[in-house]
């Protein structure tokens, strides 16, 4: 009887628990912040630092084990399946938020406007007119609507071009890695990171403009809530993706990857392309239509 093959089994990790703690802390801080509790921002920042510590420790452990040659094809396959399921969970995550947007836009607002049952309209808010973006809320004295909606053909269009370009540059970097063109690899990765930082900078400027010039805030009714919910979580994912790209650039510089074995690079590239696709949906359904 032939000998059984062996493969490396990673030790149980505490990092998922640390990450869950960080996410919970961030959510508690965000909720407290929205309720104007003075301690909300501090709890949120504490959760953010826990997440950063988790990413640093977990990435470092995986890199260390990989450089020691502990990972074989079985572990590589597990990582690939894990990344696929992770991206699938992210699709569900954003799908729920888009579902909330479509429900409000195509169901609840038309009902309040009397399109299905006129009595609902006259009984609740007879002066309310259903339209989107919703700038005049049903009870506009309590929830003051924004002065203006965010346009598609300004910063949003520029950011779309930036993210699409970053998708090209990371594909260029992948090609350079596969064909062992190290200078092009480093340049393309640096460009991708720079484009990610530029995207986040323009989004921060857009948020400042929305708050100060358009009066578009989280308190501005369902339009403001869905706008910041979708674009904010996407911006968080771009931030995480940019951090991961920085780690991959450092590993490329250190020569950790070969044309044959570079799944860490591929995983981050998959994630970045996913972020690009989500932004295209945001541009169409949040900014444009």
Tens-place pLDDT, residues 86-103: 999 999 999 999 999 999
- How much is the average pLDDT of 199-207? 97
Q: Are 222 and 172 in contact (CB under 8 A)?
A: no
Tens-place pLDDT, residues 158-185: 999 999 999 999 999 999 999 999 999 9
pTM, entire model: 0.89
CATH topology of domain 13-68: Helix Hairpins (1.10.287)
Q: How confident is the model at residue 4 (pLDDT cuts 50, 70, 90)?
A: low
- How much is the average pLDDT of 123-148? 82
Tens-place pLDDT, residues 53-87: 998 999 898 888 888 888 778 888 889 999 999 99
Domains 13-68 and 71-288 share a fold: no
Rg (CA), the chain: 23
What architecture is the 71-288 domain classified under in CATH? Up-down Bundle (1.20)
Instruction: Give the residue extent of every domain in the chain.
Output: 13-68, 71-288
Nearest residue to 10 via CA among 52, 56, 54, 72: 72
């Amino acid at each position: 009887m032939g000998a059984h093959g062996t493969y490396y089994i990673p030790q149980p990790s505490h990092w998922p628990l640390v990450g869950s703690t960080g996410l919970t802390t961030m959510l508690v801080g965000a909720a407290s912040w929205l309720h104007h509790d003075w301690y909300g921002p501090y709890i949120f920042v504490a959760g953010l630092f826990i997440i950063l510590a988790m990413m640093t420790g977990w990435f470092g452990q995986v890199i260390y084990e990989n450089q020691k040659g502990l990972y074989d094809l079985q572990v590589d396959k597990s990582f690939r399946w894990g990344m696929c399921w992770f991206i699938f969970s992210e699709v569900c995550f954003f799908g729920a938020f888009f579902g909330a947007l479509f429900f409000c836009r195509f169901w609840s607002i038309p009902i309040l406007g009397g399109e299905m049952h006129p009595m609902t309209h006259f009984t609740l808010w007879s002066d309310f007119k259903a339209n989107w973006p919703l700038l005049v809320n049903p009870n506009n004295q309590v929830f003051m609507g924004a002065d203006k909606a965010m346009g598609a053909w300004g910063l949003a269009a520029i950011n779309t071009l930036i993210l699409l370009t970053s998708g090209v540059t990371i594909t260029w970097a992948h090609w350079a890695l596969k064909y062992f063109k190290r200078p092009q690899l480093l340049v393309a990765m640096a460009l991708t990171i720079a484009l990610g930082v530029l995207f986040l900078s323009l989004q921060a400027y857009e948020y400042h403009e929305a708050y100060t010039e358009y009066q578009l805030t989280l308190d501005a009714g369902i339009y403001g809530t869905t706008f910041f919910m979708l674009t904010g979580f996407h911006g968080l994912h771009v931030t995480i993706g940019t951090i991961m790209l920085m780690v991959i650039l450092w590993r490329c510089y250190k020569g950790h990857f070969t044309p044959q074995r570079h799944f860490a690079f591929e995983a981050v590239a998959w994630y970045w392309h996913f972020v690009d696709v989500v932004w295209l949906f945001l541009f169409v359904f949040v900014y444009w239509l």
